Structure 1
Amino acid sequence: MADGARNQERQFRMTTKPIFIGGLFKSGTSLLRAMLGQHSHIAAGLETYWFEVDWDARLGRDEEPLADYVERMAGFFDIEIEWAHSAAEKAESASAFVTSILNEFAIRQGKPRWAEKTPGNILHVSRIKENWPGAKIIHIIRDPRDVYASLRQAKKWDSVEMFGNLWCDFMGAGARAASVVHEMRYEDLTLNPEECMRKAIQFVGEPWEPGVAEFSGRSEDYDKVMTLSGHASSTLDRLRHPLTNNRIGIWRDLIAADELKSLRDFVADCGLGDAYDQVTEAAVTSTSR
């Protein structure tokens, strides 16, 4: 097959069946993205936050100039700034621009498909399906007590009210989208990676490759973000190390019992007390298998 025809075929697959990963911050979205990206058919890079871009107003994230956003995406995905600006000029929406960038990112890796991981994807399932009708969406869930503990360590959303509202927003969105997403548990991913990844690979419709169930760590993402922005998240720092389950149960040493009760009461007042119990019980079940 000629190169032009081959690229045209890849373009069709990538624009119709991309993969989106979502889930609450500190729930394993970055780990899952890195593991999926080890598949020979899937290119997976850094977050785009495509849904926060106001294309018509020419504004990127946090109302930054769109040009700054475009250049950051070029850096994140190893694409020339001129190429990215040209793609932005041709695009009529943020989703169209991101599609162009990620298509090019995947093609340059010799892969026919891409995966986009931004935690808030789970809040925008309807928009994903509208813009990418054939998309496959994976929602990863972690014990909320450990998520709360991790966010406290990162000094983000570290009060009962702030975290409780955030958790309810994400879990509520996940529940509403349950019929069209594949739900995965962080505890299963770290304790039983092959079983967990086999299900994910089957869901997205790719052939099984044992390498996706192994992860020895990667520093490229941390180094890239540090170079481009001068700071990187604790998540990318941990991603430099091999797969481990030693972050399961960290809440036991970090969160007091009365605070956990307040958290459970808060989400119950939001109508998600049963969901909280189900997720925490599932985490216990995973660790006892």
Structure 2
Amino acid sequence: MTKPERPVFVVGCPRSGTTMLQLMLHAHPRIAIPPENRFVMAAYDERHRFGDLNDPENRRALARWIVERKQTRFADLGLDGRAVIEEIVAGPPTLGSALGIVLRAYAARFGKPRWGDKRPGYFQRIPALRRMFPDAQIVHLVRDARDCVASLKEMAWYKLDVQHALATWMESIDAGERAARTLGPGAYHRMYYERLIADPQAELAALCAFLGEDFDPAMCEPEKVAAVAVPGRKTWHARTHGAVSTARSGTWRERLTPAELALCETVAADRLRAHGYEPDGAGRPPLPDYTRYLRVAAHRRLAARKREAKDLLRRRDEPSEVAARLTSATV
């Protein structure tokens, strides 16, 4: 039986456990998922600047943009930049192919045939991901909104407020629902953080069945690959270097103020229940907090619609093909 080769993308609200899941997948003997990069969606959004990729010099310009710019985090992948540039130049003349070649090179670094990527915010761009990687499988990790919000507000790098954090969780849930409807069970798989940490073997076995892979017990010990797959500067991922634990699950009771908890449960009540999370009866939030949330959510929806409309317009005059030609299903 031929083994699958479809790329794997992990998405979810930030602080929902996606880095832990990245490591679990990376621990599989056939799959490699790199640290977060900043070139996949950035290259998609900037695709017009690279011109017709049928021209090798344009492919070289794209490759150098990926490899040589500090903003792309290419250095975190531990790859030979010159070799990657030449591989992109020699590769298929599509944007997805160029990006996939980088991710495939990362997998090859570990002697693994199957590649993919992880970035929580990809939940906002699933249609674009599927344009670039038509046979991609999307793995969506969901965590209790209250724990996500509590964790986000404690991150030094998170500069927004609780209203934005909650809106992000709501958007991730709605994006997952759309993906489930449009992609179907062969391309979209939802997991729950709380179930994953409570019974890693059962949840990862189900994930492997979705991916068409054999389960490997090494996946239950993600901490063993954290040193090579999580950049040391990301101190907020320190817990990934320890064994899988349920210790932080449900700690929102101590980490959210009563007003924050009331806001989460008022805004997200229906979605919480729909995904197995029972509201705690926190009551109604202060009116200023709730009205600010409504303004934030409306502004974010408008921004998302504008981004989608802009993308549709840009598709009309794309300089070259977007879809990758790296797997047997897309060649």
With structure 2 as the length reference, what TM-score do the two structures score?
0.69
Measured at CA, do residues 93 and 151 of structure 1 come closer, stay the same or move farther in structure 2, by a change above 3 Å?
A: farther
Counterpart check, 1:55 vs 2:63? no
Kept after mapping to 2: 8 A contact 1:161/1:266: no
In the alignment, structure 1 segments of 5+ residues that lack a partner are 1-8, 59-64, 268-272, 285-289
- 1:243 deviates by 1.3
How many residue pairs match? The answer is 253
Letter matched to residue 164 of structure 2 = M
Please show how residues 21-170 of structure 1 align to structure 2 within 5 Å: 21-49=10-38, 50-53=40-43, 54-57=46-49, 67-68=68-69, 72-73=73-74, 75-87=75-87, 89=89, 94-155=95-156, 156=158, 159-170=161-172
Kept after mapping to 1: 8 A contact 2:9/2:117: yes
Q: Could you tell me which residue of structure 1 aligns to residue 327 of structure 2?
A: none
In the alignment, structure 2 segments of 5+ residues that lack a partner are 51-64, 281-331
- 1:85 deviates by 3.2
Please show how residues 163-182 of structure 1 align to structure 2 within 5 Å: 163-179=165-181, 180=183, 181-182=188-189
Name which of 268, 274, 295 aligns with 1:278. Answer: 274
Letter matched to residue 32 of structure 2 = A
Counterpart check, 1:232 vs 2:234? yes
What is the rounded CA distance, in whole Å, between the counterparts of 1:31 and 1:209 in structure 2? 16
Kept after mapping to 1: 8 A contact 2:194/2:246: yes
What is the rounded CA distance, in whole Å, between the counterparts of 2:279 and 2:83 in structure 1? 45
What is the rounded CA distance, in whole Å, between the counterparts of 2:25 and 2:180 in structure 1? 21
With structure 1 as the length reference, what TM-score do the two structures score?
0.78
RMSD over aligned Cα atoms: 2.7
What is the rounded CA distance, in whole Å, between the counterparts of 1:102 and 1:283 in structure 2? 40
Runs of 4+ in structure 1 deviating by more than 4 angstroms, as ranges, are: 87-94
Counterpart check, 1:214 vs 2:221? yes
Kept after mapping to 2: 8 A contact 1:193/1:214: no
Measured at CA, do residues 70 and 100 of structure 1 come closer, stay the same or move farther in structure 2, by a change above 3 Å?
A: farther
- 1:158 deviates by 5.4
2:277 is paired with a residue whose SS is: helix
1:184 is paired with a residue whose SS is: strand
